[in-house]
C-alpha cells in the first residue's frame, strides 16, 4: 500500500462496487465481498490519514503553516471591537496582550491599528462628494501612535533576528504600513516613501518564504495601486527617489485576495479597495461590492455605513443610501471627536438624498 493515495484506493473501491452491482451469475457475491474489503481498507486509511494530519497540524510551529497567522481569542476580540466601531474598547484588550506577550508584536499591532481608526475618523470629512481622511497637520496623539508602531516593528525584527519566518516579516511590514498611514495624513511624503518601501520589502520577503501569505499580498496591493495612480510629476520624483513602481490591476487583485483570505488585512483590504476604486476609478458598483460585506459583518461601524451610503447615492439608490446614513447617525460612537465627524458627514449626506 505504500505510495497509494487515499483517492486512488477509494476510486478502486467504488469501481469494484459498480462491478459488483452490475455483475451477474455466480460471480456477483464474490465481487461484492471484494468491494466491501476495499471499502473497509479505504475507510481505515482515510481515518488514519485524518488523524495523522491533525497530529501534524497540532505539533508543527504556527509559522510553518502556509499562509496562516494564528491569533489568540483576545486578538479576535480586539479586532471585532475596533472594526465594530469601538476602537477604544480594543485598546485595553491590546495592552493586555502586550503584558501577556511583551516580546511579541501582536499586542502592539492591535493597539496601533485601533489608534489608527481613531485618527482616521478624526480626520474624515466630505470633499468632492466623498468621505475620506484628508491631509492635516500634526495631531497631539501622533507621537504615541508612532511609538506603538515602532515597538511593533522592533519586536518583529528581534524575533526575525532569532528565526526568520514569513509571519514575522508580515508583522514588520504591517508596522511600516501603519507608520506610512499617519505620515500620509500629515503630508510628509518622504517619510511616507521610506516607510512604504521598507514595508514593501518586508512583504516581498514574506511571500518569498510563504507564497500563500494573503496579508502580505494585500499590503503589496495597496502599494501597487497607489504608486501606479500617482500624478506624472510625482511619478517622475519617484524615479529620482528610487521608489519601485506599481501595477494598479495587480494591486486590485492582491487587495481582493487579502479581503478573502487575509487575517489582519481582511477588513482593511475591503475598505481601502472600496475607497480607492470609488475615488480614482469611479467604479461605484465594484466599490460597493467590496464595501457592503463590511456593513453586514459590522453593522454598527459608522464609517462603513457612511461609505456604503455614499456609494449607493452615486448609483442613484437614494432610499438605500438614506438607510445607511440613518444607521450611521444612530450608531453609538465612543470617541467624541469621531462622533462629531460622523454626525457632520452623515447629516450632510442625508440631506443630499432627501
CA-based nearest residue to 290, from 245, 258, 318, 263: 258
| The pLDDT value given to residue 244 | 75
pLDDT in tens, 55-71: 333 333 333 334 557 79
Examine the pLDDT at 34 and tell me if it is beyond 50: no
Residue percentage of the chain with pLDDT more than 90:
67
Alpha-carbon distance of 172 to 139, in angstroms, equals: 24
Examine the pLDDT at 24 and tell me if it is beyond 80: no
Examine the pLDDT at 283 and tell me if it is beyond 50: yes
pLDDT (average), residues 201-215: 97
pLDDT: which is higher, 34 or 328: 328
Average pLDDT in the chain: 83
pLDDT: which is higher, 46 or 239: 239
Examine the pLDDT at 245 and tell me if it is beyond 60: yes
Alpha helix locations (H) across the chain? 6-22, 28-59, 73-83, 87-100, 106-123, 142-162, 166-185, 189-209, 214-228, 232-241, 248-261, 266-279, 284-297, 302-314, 318-330, 336-353
What is the Cα 216 distance to its own chain's centre?
9
Q: pLDDT band at 242, cuts 50/70/90?
A: low
Alpha-carbon distance of 138 to 136, in angstroms, equals: 7
Predicted structure pTM score? 0.79
Spatial contact of 302 and 85, defined as CB atoms under 8 Å apart: yes
How far lies 23's CA from each of 17, 132, 207, in Å? Answer: 10, 71, 54
pLDDT in tens, 136-147: 778 888 999 999
Q: pLDDT band at 246, cuts 50/70/90?
A: confident
Domain boundaries of the chain, sorted by first residue: 6-60, 73-210, 212-261+269-286, 297-354
Lowest mean pLDDT among 136-140, 203-207, 246-250, 252-256: 136-140
Q: In this structure, which topology does domain 73-210 adopt according to CATH? A: 1.25.40
| The pLDDT value given to residue 346 | 96
Examine the pLDDT at 19 and tell me if it is beyond 90: no
Strands 124-127, 130-133: pairing is: antiparallel
| The pLDDT value given to residue 136 | 78
- The three cell numbers locating residue 222: 495597496
| The pLDDT value given to residue 65 | 39
pLDDT in tens, 153-193: 999 999 999 999 999 999 999 999 999 999 999 989 889 88
Amino acid at each position: 500500500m505504500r505510495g497509494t493515495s487515499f483517492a486512488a484506493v477509494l476510486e478502486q473501491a467504488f469501481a469494484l462496487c459498480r462491478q459488483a452491482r452490475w455483475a451477474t451469475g455466480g460471480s456477483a457475491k464474490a465481487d461484492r465481498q471484494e468491494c466491501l474489503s476495499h471499502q473497509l481498507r479505504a475507510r481505515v486509511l482515510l481515518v488514519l490519514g485524518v488523524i495523522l494530519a491533525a497530529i501534524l497540524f497540532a505539533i508543527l510551529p504556527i509559522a510553518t503553516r502556509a499562509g496562516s497567522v494564528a491569533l489568540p481569542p483576545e486578538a479576535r476580540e480586539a479586532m471585532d471591537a475596533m472594526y465594530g466601531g469601538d476602537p477604544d474598547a480594543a485598546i485595553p484588550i491590546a495592552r493586555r496582550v502586550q503584558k501577556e506577550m511583551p516580546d511579541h508584536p501582536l499586542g502592539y499591532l492591535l493597539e496601533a491599528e485601533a489608534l489608527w481608526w481613531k485618527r482616521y475618523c478624526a480626520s474624515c470629512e466630505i470633499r468632492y462628494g466623498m468621505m475620506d481622511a484628508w491631509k492635516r497637520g500634526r495631531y497631539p496623539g501622533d507621537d504615541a501612535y508612532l511609538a506603538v508602531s515602532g515597538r511593533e516593528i522592533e519586536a518583529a525584527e528581534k524575533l526575525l533576528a532569532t528565526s526568520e519566518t514569513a509571519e514575522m516579516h508580515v508583522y514588520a511590514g504591517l508596522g511600516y504600513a501603519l507608520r506610512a498611514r499617519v505620515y500620509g495624513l500629515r503630508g510628509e511624503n518622504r517619510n511616507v516613501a521610506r516607510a512604504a518601501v521598507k514595508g514593501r520589502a518586508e512583504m516581498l520577503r514574506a511571500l518569498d518564504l510563504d507564497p500563500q501569505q494573503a496579508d502580505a499580498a494585500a499590503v503589496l496591493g495597496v502599494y501597487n495601486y497607489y504608486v501606479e495612480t500617482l500624478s506624472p510629476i510625482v511619478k517622475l520624483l519617484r524615479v529620482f527617489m528610487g521608489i519601485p513602481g506599481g501595477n494598479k490591476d495587480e494591486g486590485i487583485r492582491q487587495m481582493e485576495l487579502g479581503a478573502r483570505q487575509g487575517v489582519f488585512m481582511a477588513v482593511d483590504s475591503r475598505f481601502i479597495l472600496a475607497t480607492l476604486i470609488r475615488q480614482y476609478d469611479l467604479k461605484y458598483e465594484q466599490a460597493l461590492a467590496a464595501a457592503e460585506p463590511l456593513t453586514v459583518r459590522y453593522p454598527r461601524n459608522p464609517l462603513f455605513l457612511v461609505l456604503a451610503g455614499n456609494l449607493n447615492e452615486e448609483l442613484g439608490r437614494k432610499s438605500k443610501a438614506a438607510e445607511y446614513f440613518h444607521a450611521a447617525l444612530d450608531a453609538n460612537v465612543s470617541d467624541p471627536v469621531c462622533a462629531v465627524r460622523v454626525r457632520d458627514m452623515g447629516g450632510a449626506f442625508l440631506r443630499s438624498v432627501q
